[in-house]
Amino acid sequence: MNEIQVMESKEKAHGCKCEECILKNLIFNYVPDEDSYILCNVKREQSFKKGEIIVKQNSPIVDFFYIKSGIVKLSKVTESKRNHIISIAKPHDYTSLLTVFHGKNYAYTMTAIEYTEICIFPLNLIIDLVMRHGSFGIGLLKKSSKTADDIIDRFIQNNSRNLRGRIAMTLLDFSFNIYKSHIYELPVSRKEIAELIGMTTENVIRILSEFRKEKIIKINGKEIEIVDFERLKMISDRG
Amino acid sequence: MNEIQVMESKEKAHGCKCEECILKNLIFNYVPDEDSYILCNVKREQSFKKGEIIVKQNSPIVDFFYIKSGIVKLSKVTESKRNHIISIAKPHDYTSLLTVFHGKNYAYTMTAIEYTEICIFPLNLIIDLVMRHGSFGIGLLKKSSKTADDIIDRFIQNNSRNLRGRIAMTLLDFSFNIYKSHIYELPVSRKEIAELIGMTTENVIRILSEFRKEKIIKINGKEIEIVDFERLKMISDRG
DNA sequence: CGCGGCTTTGATGTTCATCAAGTAAAGTGG
DNA sequence: CCACTTTACTTGATGAACATCAAAGCCGCG
């Protein structure tokens, strides 16, 4: 038995490699060993390059997605053909909870905006597990209601700000909740920011330039550095 | 045994009076008889007059609410002291699903905007039932994800319309989804409409007046009559 | 190399919030 | 029940915020 074989055998014994990652997460805490074993054996793992579509709006729901690593955007086109970004999700953060339980087709398109690894489970299996383990259902309910509340909250926050406030909020959001750094590479285009916070691309650019001229941020293509954190926070709060 | 006593005895046998109403509803289908009996005995029913607060934002979560009859608004004040209406809920339509499973305090204030009857269950009981009946969990997940998706959708719809479009959408929404009539009494003030669709009270009034002058609707205080349905629909779609 | 998508800046006009001021309606306390 | 206060409703005028249009540079990709 070489080293790789030993490792593979260990993985089998524990169910699967991402067990630690999954167990850390709220949801999968609740399933007993023998079932998490099934869960692991049935799941398939798939990776997506920046820009690749994970699943398309309106395609029939068959799977349940879990973000293992990377960053994903959820978007939707309305009848008026306008594209809207609903949310930007990070690992463990969003797990395709919305829609899958009540709809026939996915309501949102999921796109990788960085290299992303997704764990894919047949929805039937998830439902079956909820049927057999109420506590798992509670876990999903918690996660799902949190996700929804967060999205709704972002909409309200967004709507009660002017454009400068929205951009400031978005920059701070990336800094705090995704990259945990005052300097980072924007994973989205100016156009996508516009679609996320409901304004035009031109004004996104214009306001980013304003912030640069006011020495609040430094811009280098997609790289953003927050220089004057206090002022950015103030603009986000007052705006 | 007089008639009333006979009826009361029948109710006990079935659990409780609203059993039919509850069973019609998605959620409570999934609980077996003996448990729905508990559910009925523990629940308390309470009625609220127009304008009365059912539960306040930030108060600790203890109960799970179910709208038996009436109309309810969900609202929230942001740090900037602005009030936002998240949703207007009708019977069976919304059951305080958001937040209750993940939060410690209610995220939204619930207010009766018409005479409303609410069934109140201790949240612990609901959680206990999900633990014991996975299918009930599925029911709640369905309902909760539907509710969230609807709210998110309304936000997107709203944000992609100009003010005339928003007002048109709102009037049609009341007509179709709540009153199922082309003539109805608005249950909310102009100010509340403004808080629901994110604009100023003055402009709500202004645009309602415009619609009146353009003979699209008739207004008599709170009474709205949709006269030119086609044009209203067009304004809602194009706006 | 050229095409399409992304980015940038400027000019222009529309949409909408804000301010102001007045009427009507609905509570409130004596 | 009436005077009083407050809240809801209404219209107009003004300016600010924002979308739209236009034009040009940039970059990656076939």
DSSP secondary structure letters along A50-95: TT-EEE-TTSBP-EEEEEEES-EEEEEE-TT--EEEEEEE-TTT--
The reported pLDDT for the residue numbered B96 is 65
Residues with CB under 7 A from strand D: A 162-164, 198-200, 202-203; B 189-191, 201-202, 205-206, 208-209, 219, 221-222
The reported pLDDT for the residue numbered A24 is 47
Per residue in B45-75, pLDDT tens? 899 999 999 999 999 999 999 888 899 999 9
Question: What gap in Å lies between CA A118 and CA B138, rounded to an integer?
Answer: 24
The reported pLDDT for the residue numbered A12 is 43
Q: Which of A96, A104, A144, A153 to mutate to test the interface with B (most CBs of B within 10 A)?
A: A144
The reported pLDDT for the residue numbered B9 is 42
Judged by CB atoms closer than 8 Å, whether chains meet at A78 and B159 is answered as: no
**A152 touching B, CB under 8 A?**
yes
The reported pLDDT for the residue numbered A87 is 94
Judged by CB atoms closer than 8 Å, whether chains meet at A130 and B137 is answered as: yes
The reported pLDDT for the residue numbered A164 is 97
The reported pLDDT for the residue numbered B42 is 84
Strand (E) or helix (H) holding A196: helix A190-197
**A25 touching B, CB under 8 A?**
no
Distance, CA of B206 to C1' of C25, in Å? 19
CATH class, A161-238 region: mainly alpha
Phi, psi of B235 (to 5 degrees): -65, -40
Checking if the pLDDT of B226 tops 60, the result is yes
Judged by CB atoms closer than 8 Å, whether chains meet at B84 and A131 is answered as: no
The reported pLDDT for the residue numbered A4 is 47
Domain ranges of chain B: 3-154, 161-238
In chain A, what residues touch B159 (CB-CB under 8 Å)?
84, 155, 159, 198
CATH topology of domain A3-154: Jelly Rolls (2.60.120)
Q: What is the mean pLDDT of residues B140-164?
A: 92
Nucleotide whose C1' lies closest to the alpha carbon of residue A162? D17
Q: Quick one: tokens of B24? A: 């019609």
Checking if the pLDDT of B127 tops 80, the result is yes
Q: Quick one: tokens of B110? A: 């619930």
Closest by CA to B94, choosing from B127, B58, B130, B55, is B55
pLDDT tier, B4 (very low <50, low <70, confident <90, very high otherwise): very low
Question: What gap in Å lies between CA B157 and CA A86, rounded to an integer?
Answer: 12
Q: Which residues of chain A have pLDDT under 70?
A: 1-31, 93-97
pTM (2 d.p.): 0.90
Checking if the pLDDT of B168 tops 60, the result is yes
Share of chain B above pLDDT 70, in %: 84
Asked whether the beta carbons of B160 and A84 are under 8 A apart, the reply is yes
B48 - beta bridge partners?
B116
Closest by CA to B228, choosing from B188, B161, B146, B172, is B172
Min distance A44 CA to chain B CA atoms (Å): 23
